[in-house]
Structure 1
Amino acid sequence: MIKECKQGNQVCYFKKLDLLLAKGQYRLVEPKDILYLQADRSYCKVHLLNGEVLVASKPLNRFEKKLCAGKFLRSHRSYLINKVHVSGFSRNDKMIRLAEGIELPCSERALKELIKELVL
């Protein structure tokens, strides 16, 4: 159902993602604990399963290159979602539903890709 990461420079579920936070502090986060990432200018908000939101000092496209493409999807220009936590979607509203009832906008292209991959 979810493709395995085969590219050597990407972070997969057995590695941790390092996040540079404010004041030069680093935080290690397991990709499986990430619900989604949200662009915020040259920063990125990392929304975790436990409800915590971390602000990292890298733009979203840096994380898109680093995280496993088989597990994460650029659903919209401002969002990178963890496909493991997708619980539903709406074709009419172009929305993806994640754990805890969180709904995020999704481009038509990304929604088609997600449906093709996740739906039997």
Structure 2
Amino acid sequence: MLFLKVGRKLVQVDLENILYIQSSNIYCLVYLKNGDRLICTSTLQALEEKLRSFHFIRIHRCYILNVAEISVIDKSSMSIYLSGLDDPFPISRRYKSFIAKLEHAV
């Protein structure tokens, strides 16, 4: 479980329901499996620290993904696809080493 500050409320979110998190200016957009999107006032770095030990991986300065939802890692285009989503997520050069670690863990 994770508590997110959404407006003036703390909202409890089950980690298994998070698909990915996207940074957007001073907010983070948390996309859930049911299609909902939460706008929280936390930084991506703060969320990364909270989620590091729960099978989430940062692949770009704007994205944190739920490892359990990864369906394809495309090395040629340096992108990742998540289950149920058509658009790829870019892997930045800075986070490429984390992807190598992920490949060895599988």
The residue that corresponds to 2:95 in the other structure is 110
Aligned with 2:35: secondary structure? coil
Query: Structure 2: 5+ residue runs without aligned partners?
Result: none
Q: Please, what is the CA RMSD of the aligned residues?
A: 1.8
Higher strand fraction: Structure 1 or Structure 2? 2
Query: Structure 1: 5+ residue runs without aligned partners?
Result: 1-15
User: How many equivalent pairs are there?
Assistant: 104
Residue 92 of structure 1 and its aligned partner are, at CA, apart by 1.7
Alignment identity in percent? 30
1:19 aligns with 2:7: no
TM-score, length-scaled by structure 2: 0.86
Q: 1:43 aligns with which of 27, 30, 49?
A: 27
Q: 1:79 aligns with which of 54, 63, 79?
A: 63
TM-score, length-scaled by structure 1: 0.77
Residue 70 of structure 1 and its aligned partner are, at CA, apart by 5.1
Of structures 1 and 2, the one with the larger relative CO (CA 8 A, separation 6+) is: 1
